[in-house]
């Protein structure tokens, strides 16, 4: 197999002036940087503030997958002229079965020379291109990434793939998106540091301890990678298509229609316990013009991932005025390879979920529409009072994924914390069984058991209460210092509230669900 990889491809989709360093971010982590930025010390996975500390003059750009695919389409077209059938992994990376081209051109070196020349012409800036040849999808991807650092192709002779992988760090499996970072980290902490170390383990033991993902890593290490590039068009897998009554000139309605088709495909496969890993997207116009691309994703293509790839592909195609002279009349999605749905093991105590992913994508879209400084999100900030525990900051200053843990401050109210905090001051009356006002002494002791609470003119009986918890906050600051006592109560309607008395007056600090 041959894998072609263009290093730091997201940078090529960013227009900029000569001599200005470029850093491309996604979810506030560096995903690519130009040579100038790398020379200054910027590294992939750096946080925004770390990257700007290393290269303050850099131009920061948010990653745009559509623009990347639009730029990469010239490379795809150049390779398709040599190899009719290939698979797109991501914008900037593709692979294909080398057996046919090797026979036609007379050897692997001849294929590499032809591909290198044509791709260099398509790119036009002389940037290094990574080309790796090896037995297996993962091995060729690793070879391509290693080749991208030098610009010299890496050709692994037949039968030597396992030996070439053995001395490499296990982190290479994470770099080429084969094994999740947390699994690689666990291997490293257990002393399995190289791919060769993993190959020496018994496959049954790896399967028992690490599950199917560990088994796949072991198979890669031992040269058993049963995921060849498809060179034929199988017909036994499902296919869905949408015919349009009138030719659609703009691609937005076509992409919108792809969502229904993608969900239909994914749900149909899910009913059989399967996940799509290889997909063919085909579009045809009223003038019989045709655009077809083959996409591959090892972890599987969700409905959202399918729609994204349809959008990338059609956007790049529609910008070629020569290739597209009429409106689209049919969109077809064909599943060409599947794997068993291994499921997802969620943590016992929460963790990232699909809702988190949807929220992150929504924030990204808002940032695109309004700008990074106009979109604000809450982040944990500590504090002893409910209104101080979170603060609103610009989305550009938030690091998605790993976030620093903010421990509870001494003197903070005991859990559970209120889930609703009033935006205006709400005065509250607290009285005892005889109707006398309840207060808190200077020593933090309550004057009587609270019996009735009046909130917004509504009187309710107290069924349970806890506290008070006195607090002297920022006593050194003449303007911001506060002295108060907090009280938790449960009322007869089942609602729970956090009250505070300050300057001998009770008010509502927050309410529980």
Q: Which two tokens stand for residue 405?
A: 């843990």
- The residue assigned the tokens 């790896």 is 206
Question: What are the structural domain ranges in the chain?
Answer: 2-161, 166-231, 239-336, 346-412, 427-511
The correct answer on CATH 3.30.70.1140 for the domain covering 239-336 is no
Calpha distance 191→462 (Å, rounded): 59
The answer to whether residues 124 and 105 touch, using CB atoms and an 8 Å cutoff, is: no
pLDDT per residue over 334-369, tens digit each?
988 887 776 555 544 455 555 666 676 677 667 666
Q: Among 107, 17, 117, 105, which residue's Cα sits nearest to residue 58? A: 17
- pLDDT at position 513: 64
Calpha distance 203→220 (Å, rounded): 11
Burial of 281 (0-12, 13-18, 19+ CB in 10 A): buried
| DSSP 8-state class, residue 388 | G
CATH of domain 166-231: 1.10.150.20
Calpha distance 290→36 (Å, rounded): 40
CATH of domain 2-161: 3.40.1170.60
- Per-residue tens of pLDDT for the chain, all 513 residues: 899 998 888 888 887 767 788 999 887 788 888 888 888 999 888 888 888 888 988 888 888 888 888 888 888 888 988 887 888 888 889 999 888 888 888 888 999 999 988 988 888 776 778 999 998 888 999 999 999 877 789 999 888 999 999 999 999 988 887 888 888 888 998 899 999 999 999 988 888 888 888 888 998 999 887 666 654 444 456 888 999 988 888 888 888 888 889 988 888 888 888 888 889 999 999 888 889 988 988 778 888 889 888 988 888 888 877 778 888 999 999 988 887 776 555 544 455 555 666 676 677 667 666 665 677 777 776 677 777 777 777 665 554 444 444 566 766 766 677 778 887 788 888 888 888 888 888 888 888 888 888 888 788 888 888 878 888 877 787 777 788 888 888 888 888 888 888 888 888 888 876
The answer to whether residues 197 and 170 touch, using CB atoms and an 8 Å cutoff, is: yes
| Secondary structure element (H or E) that encloses residue 154, with its range | strand 154-155
The residue length of the chain stands at 513
Calpha distance 469→414 (Å, rounded): 9
Helix, coil or strand: residue 235? coil
Determine how β-strand 427-431 pairs with β-strand 505-511.
Answer: antiparallel
Q: E strands within 287-411?
A: 290-296, 328-340, 376-380, 390-394
Record the pTM.
Answer: 0.61
Calpha distance 6→284 (Å, rounded): 29
Q: Among 288, 335, 279, which residue's Cα sits nearest to residue 308? A: 279
Calpha distance 102→83 (Å, rounded): 10
CA dihedral (40, 43, 49, 50) positive or negative: negative
- pLDDT at position 401: 42
Asked, as a colleague might, if the bond just before 465 is cis with ω within 30 of 0, I would say no
Calpha distance 229→144 (Å, rounded): 16
Helix, coil or strand: residue 214? helix
Query: Radius of gyration over alpha carbons of the chain, in Å?
Result: 30
Determine how β-strand 376-380 pairs with β-strand 390-394.
Answer: antiparallel
The answer to whether residues 331 and 254 touch, using CB atoms and an 8 Å cutoff, is: yes
Q: Among 22, 25, 20, 65, which residue's Cα sits nearest to residue 48? A: 25
């Amino acid at each position: 197999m041959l894998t072609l990889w263009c290093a730091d491809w997201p940078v090529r989709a960013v227009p900029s002036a000569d001599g200005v360093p470029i850093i491309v971010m996604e979810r506030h982590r560096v995903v690519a940087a130009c040579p100038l930025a790398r020379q200054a010390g910027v590294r992939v996975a750096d946080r925004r503030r770390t990257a700007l500390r290393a290269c303050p003059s850099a131009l920061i750009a948010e990653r745009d997958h559509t623009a990347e695919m639009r730029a990469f389409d010239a490379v795809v077209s150049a390779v398709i002229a040599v190899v009719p059938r290939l698979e797109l992994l991501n914008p900037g990376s593709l692979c294909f079965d080398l057996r046919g081209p090797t026979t036609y051109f007379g050897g692997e070196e001849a294929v590499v020379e032809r591909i290198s020349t044509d791709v260099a012409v398509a790119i036009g800036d002389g940037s290094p291109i990574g080309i790796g040849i090896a037995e297996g999808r993962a091995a060729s991807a690793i070879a391509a990434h290693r080749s991208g650092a030098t610009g010299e192709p890496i050709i692994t002779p037949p039968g030597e793939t396992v030996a070439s992988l053995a001395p490499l760090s296990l982190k290479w499996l994470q770099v080429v998106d084969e094994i999740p970072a947390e699994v690689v980290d666990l291997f490293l902490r257990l002393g399995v540091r190289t791919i060769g170390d993993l190959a020496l383990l018994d496959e049954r033991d790896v399967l028992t301890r690490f599950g199917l993902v560990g088994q796949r890593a072991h198979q890669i290490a031992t040269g058993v990678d049963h995921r060849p590039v498809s060179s034929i068009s199988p017909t036994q897998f499902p296919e869905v298509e949408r015919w349009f009554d009138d030719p659609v000139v703009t691609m937005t309605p076509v992409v919108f229609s792809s969502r229904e088709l993608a969900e239909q495909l994914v749900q149909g496969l899910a009913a059989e316990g399967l996940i799509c890993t290889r997909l063919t997207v085909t579009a045809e116009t009223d003038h019989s013009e045709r655009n077809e691309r083959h996409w591959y994703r090892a972890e599987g293509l969700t409905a959202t991932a399918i729609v994204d790839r349809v959008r990338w592909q059609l956007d790049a195609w529609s910008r070629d005025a020569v290739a597209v002279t009429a409106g689209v009349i049919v969109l077809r999605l064909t599943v060409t390879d599947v794997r068993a749905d291994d499921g997802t093991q969620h943590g016992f105590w929460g963790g990232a979920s699909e809702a988190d992913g949807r929220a992150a994508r929504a924030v990204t879209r808002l940032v695109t529409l309004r700008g990074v400084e106009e979109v604000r999100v809450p982040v944990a900030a500590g504090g002893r009072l409910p209104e101080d525990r979170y603060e609103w900051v610009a989305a550009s200053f938030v690091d998605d994924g790993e976030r620093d843990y903010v421990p509870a401050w001494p003197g903070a109210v005991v859990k559970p914390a209120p889930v609703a905090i009033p935006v205006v001051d709400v005065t509250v009356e607290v009285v005892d069984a005889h109707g006398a006002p309840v207060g808190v002494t200077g020593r933090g002791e309550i004057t009587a058991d609270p019996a009735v609470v009046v909130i917004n003119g509504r009187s309710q009986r107290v069924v349970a209460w806890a506290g008070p918890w006195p607090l002297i906050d920022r006593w050194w600051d003449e303007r911001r210092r506060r002295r108060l006592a907090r009280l938790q109560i449960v009322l007869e309607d089942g609602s729970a509230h956090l009250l505070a008395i300050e300057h001998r007056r009770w008010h509502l600090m927050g309410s529980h669900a």
